[in-house]
Each structure stands twice: as structure tokens, then as C-alpha cells.
Amino acid sequence: MNSQQKIKQLIDKREQAKLGGGVKRIEAQHQKGKLTAKERIAILLDEGSFEEYDMFVTHRCTDFGLEKESYMSDGVVTGHGTIDGRVVFVFSQDFTVFGGSLSETFAQKICKIMDQAMKIGAPVIGINDSGGARIQEGVKSLAGYAEIFERNILASGVIPQISAIFGPCAGGAVYSPALTDFILMTEDTSYMFVTGPKVTKTVTGESISTEELGGAEVHATKSGVSHFVVEDEEEGLMMIRKLLSYLPQNNLEEPPMTPTNDPIDRREDALNDLVPVDSNKPYDMLNLIQLIVDNGEFLEVQPKFARNIITAFAKMGGMPVGIVANQPNYLAGVLDINASRKAARFVRFCDAFNIPLVTLVDVPGFLPGSAQEYGGIIIHGAKLLFAYGEATVPKVTVTVRKSYGGAHDVMSSKQLRGDINYAWPTAEIAVMGAAGAVEVLEGRKLGEIKDDNERARYIEEKTNEYNEKFANPYQAAKYGYIDDVIEPRNTRFRVIRALRTLATKKDLLPPKKHSNIPL
Ligand code: HXC
């Protein structure tokens, strides 16, 4: 072969690799409303930035006649490219080759890019669309999964890891996405479960569809396994780009600053009237967030799960922040098991990646009841407490209204190394609400009053007295637990100034192997 022929051979091989499992299977993929592995990468990355690794890799299996059937790339496209000019590593499972199933070489390809990403300090994005372990390869495939799991674990807290689920993801295969920071699923075309409907039926007798067992909706609302749900793959890939715009490349970098035209001292008069006069009335905390962040833009994480707490990324004065906020519009913003788990994980992510935390508090307390106690609210609530107390990133807290009992301590209070704690004049910071307090403190006296009217009058009088004395921010401010009581309309400016002041904050944990967070 002369050099021209050799170049032609290279071009032909590249063309062949592009076809994955062949034209027919690509058509079948499209018919299911799904894109191919390469199409997905092309949408995800900056145009022309993708550099593929290992397209000449093929499997080495000689069992079950597989030696006669092999495809270039072996069912996963791997490499690196850029998103908004920043390097990312990506693997994209190719369902057209053996159903995207994972072989020994397939796993090695993924491990290679994960190792590179760790050396360079760049995020890894995994696009999952796979029938699981390649059955013909037996335990080699299991070992391959475990090689990936170990890398997911070692990379956790070092580089951001994002998983898109664009097809099947079942059995032990779910655990690689589960070990990553964020899981994004497409409606209708993706599912995740450890055990599928058929085996579930055999073992437990329960009849359930794929969608009901592990579809996007289920994981967004019930299990909390997924963080984002999108209608289609293109929307999902754009959302990953958006998510990365809030994140640093690795744990040693600061998150990316973006210049903003939104004035940092923008006053929002509407905030002065946001909290209803009747303190038991709900309002939408999302309105507050929208009014204080740059250009009203934010990205909610797990928006449909534990809606009593909001977790979101936003920018304030160009600086990425993680926002945690109780949502009075849903279950009065109470802390329960799921809200605690959701927020704790978010706080830990932000802390691992140097993203300052802004906490907006309106919490009546923990949800009472046997369901919560038996479900372990003690341990789950402790997760959030632990996460806040351990976090060393700048922590700015604004108490908007209620901040009662244990929940007050949990929600980034001063004593959990909260850096700057503000309250609105509408704040109520106390051990418990007036009604409960009167019942406990005045129980004996109330028992002695026989006349109903007189009892009601007494309760009202004591409730007012308690409210007057305790349902305000000034008791807490008196002791320095609140640094300042601020006018609501100035919240954006005050928070941004606090964040800028805290930008060089250094805080440490005592030397230890690792903490023992109540898992
Ligand atoms: C090898 C596989 C495969 C697998 C699918 N294929 N899964 N090949 N190993 N695990 C092949 C099919 O033979 C078929 O080949 C092609 O991929 C497309 O599959 P279809 O079944 O035609 O597609 P579809 O109807 O869309 O169904 C997709 C599917 C189904 C639901 C994923 O293929 C399926 O149930 N596969 C088996 C899943 C499974 O049990 N995997 C092992 C789980 S255990 P042709 O040549 O016809 O195109 C596991 C353990 C992991 O994963 C442990 C980690 C610790």
C-alpha cells in the first residue's frame, strides 16, 4: 500500500466506525425517538470540538460465536471536547452495538477517559443507553462495571460527574449513575431499576409496567433518584451545558464567574410585600429567588421531589451560588425525610465544589408523625444538619419568616458556622409557634378555666403576648445569632455584598480520614 492508499484505509475505517451497529439499527434507534451515540455527542459539545478515543477498539470475546461479530468502538463512543470552551470528557453508549451492552473493552474505554479526566481535572459526562452487562462476556463484564464504580467513587468530590439516561439502565448498571453527582432522564424513553418488571413479578408477584417501576416521572417524584427530567434528548443535552455553567472544572477551582448586566444593587419593592400578613398563609418562595438572582435565572435541581424544599443553582453578581430554600407553598415548607435528604446532598455537592450557599428560611419545623419517625427522620434530618455544619464554603442565610425549633438550627444557623445571617422584619425565630407554646406553658391554667369564652380570650391574650415577645427577629438579633435585620427589597444587594466579602473565606475541618455522616 502506498501512503495514499493507507490514508484511504484510515478514512474508510473511520467511516465504518461512524456507523456503529449499522444503518438498520441506527434507523431502529431513530424510530424509537432516540438519537445515536455520536449524534448526542455532537449536540452536547461545542461544534467541532470532539476528539474521539479508541474508535479502533473491538471486543475480544470468542464465546457464543461473538468472534464472528464485532464492531469498531465496541458499543461506546468516548473522548473529550469542550462545552463553552471548557474541556469535558464524555462517554456515550451506543445501543446499536449489542444493545449498548458493556464488555471488558467497553469498560476499559470508559475507564480510560475517567482516568484522563481525573489527571486533567475536567468533568465527565456519561450518556447511558444500554442493555447492561454483555451477557456473552460473563464475569468480565461484571468486573468492568466494578472498575467504573471504583473510578466514580474516587472521582466523587474531585470532578463533577453527570449522567444522562437516554434509554435502558438496569440491574447493577444503575449504580454507576447513582454514584455520580446528577442524573438526568428523558420522559418516555428512559428507565432505571435494579430489578425489572419480569423478575419483580416472579419474585414478589407484583405486576408493574416499566414506566411505573422506573420511568423518569417515578424517579423525579417518588424515589428522588433523578435530578432533572426532560422531554427529549436535545433538551437534556442543553440542560447539561447549562448545569456546567454553574460548576467549576474540579474541586481545586473556583466556579466560573460570568459578567452580568443585572445591577447588584437592584432593589425589588415587591419583596417588601411578599410575606403575607397572616403568617400561616403560603406564598411562593420561587418568586423571591427569581427576584434576587441575576436576570431572574436559575436552574432547579429535583424540582418535583420533596417540593417543600427548593434546591437551585443561580448566579448572583456573576457568581454561581447554590440556593436552598424552604417552600411555604408546599406542606408549609416543613422539613421531612425527603426534604432533608434532597437538601443535604445538594449542600454537600456545593461544598465539595466551592459553590457558596445561600439559604432562604421559612420553616415551621419538622413534620410530626409515626410515618416520619419510623422512616428515620432523626437520621435523615441529621444529614442536613451535618451537611451544613461541615460545609466550609461561604454561607449566607436570610430568614424570611418562620424559623422554629430544631429546624431553625438546621437551616444554616449561625452556630453551624453560618457566616452572615440576615433576617427580614417578618422573621419569627423561636423555639415553637405561639399556639404550641401557649398550650405547653399555659396548660394547667387553661384546665382551670371552665368558661369556654373566657378560655378562648385567655388563649388569644397569651398567643398575642407570645407572638409579640418571640415571633420576631429581634430576640435572635439581640444575641447576635442574626447579624442584621434587613429591608426585604435590599436582599439582592445585601446577599451579593456578603458573598463578595466572603469570597476569600478560609475555614477548615479537623484532620480526619473522613466524617461519619449519618447515612
Ligand atoms: C448482549 C444484548 C444485551 C446484553 C441487548 N442486547 N442486551 N447483547 N448483552 N445485555 C442485544 C440484543 O440481542 C439485540 O441484538 C440488540 O442488543 C438490541 O436488543 P433488543 O432486545 O432487540 O432491543 P429492545 O427490544 O429495545 O430491548 C432492549 C432491552 C433488552 C430491554 C435492553 O435487550 C433486554 O432485556 N436485554 C437484556 C438485559 C439484561 O438482562 N442485561 C443483563 C442485566 S444484568 P440484535 O443483534 O438483535 O440487534 C446486568 C448486571 C450488571 O446488567 C451488573 C453490574 C454490577
Among 121, 138, 172, 318, which one carries the catalytic annotation?
Answer: 172
The pLDDT of residue 367? 96
Q: What is the pLDDT of residue 277?
A: 86
Q: Which band of pLDDT confidence, cut at 50, 70 and 90, is reported for residue 172?
A: confident
CA atoms of 57 and 80, how far apart (whole Å): 17
Residue closest to 351 by CA, chosen among 399, 412, 293: 412
Say if ligand 1 is within 6 A of residue 172 CB: yes
Helix ranges restricted to H, 252-336: 285-292
Contact (Cβ atoms closer than 8 angstroms) between residue 79 and residue 58: no
The sign of the CA dihedral 244, 250, 254, 259 is: negative
pLDDT reported for residue 355: 98
143 has a pLDDT exceeding 90: yes
What average pLDDT does the structure give for the chain?
A: 96
- pLDDT tops 90 at residue 34: yes
CATH-assigned architecture of domain 3-244: Alpha-Beta Complex (3.90)
- Residues 173-209 pLDDT 10s: 999 999 999 999 999 999 999 999 999 999 999 999 9
Q: Which DSSP symbol is given to 254? A: P
Answer yes or no: is the C-beta of 90 below 6 A from any ligand 1 atom: no
Task: Note the pLDDT of residue 470.
Answer: 87
122 labelled catalytic: no
Cα-Cα-Cα-Cα dihedral sign, residues 364, 398, 289, 234 = negative
Task: Find, among 235, 370, 356, 246, the residue nearest to 297 by Cα.
Answer: 246
Whole-angstrom Cα distance, residue 92 to residue 174? 15
- How far is the CA of 251 from the CAs of 154, 354, 369, 434, in angstroms? 13, 7, 40, 45
pLDDT given for residue 295 in this prediction:
98
Residue owning the nearest CA to atom 34 of ligand 1: 131
Q: How far is it, in rounded angstroms, from Cα 311 to Cα 321?
A: 11
pLDDT of res. 69: 94
Q: Residue holding cell 470552551?
A: 85
* Dihedral in degrees, nearest 10, Cα atoms 273, 276, 282, 288: 20
State the average pLDDT over residues 465-469: 89
What is the residue with the minimal CA distance to atom 51 of ligand 1?
172
Determine whether the shortest distance from the Cβ of 214 to ligand 1 is under 6 A: no
323-373 pLDDT, tens per residue?
A: 999 999 999 999 999 999 999 999 999 999 999 999 999 999 999 999 999
Per cent of the chain over pLDDT 90 is 93
How far is the C-alpha of 17 from the C-alpha of 93, rounded, in Å? 14
Helix (H) or strand (E) holding 443: helix 443-448
Distance CA 283, CA 325 (A): 13
Question: Would the pLDDT of 469 be above 90?
Answer: no
Tell how far the Cα of 414 is from the centroid of ligand 1, in angstroms.
53
Q: If DSSP codes are grouped into helix, strand and coil, which group holds residue 10?
A: helix
- The mean per-residue pLDDT over the stretch 17-33 comes to 96
| pLDDT tens track for 104-114 | 999 999 999 99
Q: What is the tens place of the pLDDT at every residue in 422-440? A: 999 999 999 988 888 888 8
Distance in Å, CA 186 to ligand 1 centroid: 19
CA of 487 to the centre of ligand 1 (A): 59
What CATH number labels 269-427+472-504?
3.90.226.10
Contact 75, 94 (CB under 8 A): yes
Q: Does residue 381 carry a pLDDT above 90?
A: yes
Closest of 195, 188, 230, 189 to residue 213, by C-alpha: 195
CA distance 255 to 313: 12
Domains 3-244 and 269-427+472-504 share a fold: yes
Q: Domains of the chain: which residue ranges?
A: 3-244, 269-427+472-504, 433-470
CA distances from 270 to 24, 322, 472 (A): 58, 23, 21
How far apart, in whole angstroms, are the C-alpha atoms of residue 122 and residue 114?
9
Rounded Cα distance between 343 and 384, Å, is 6
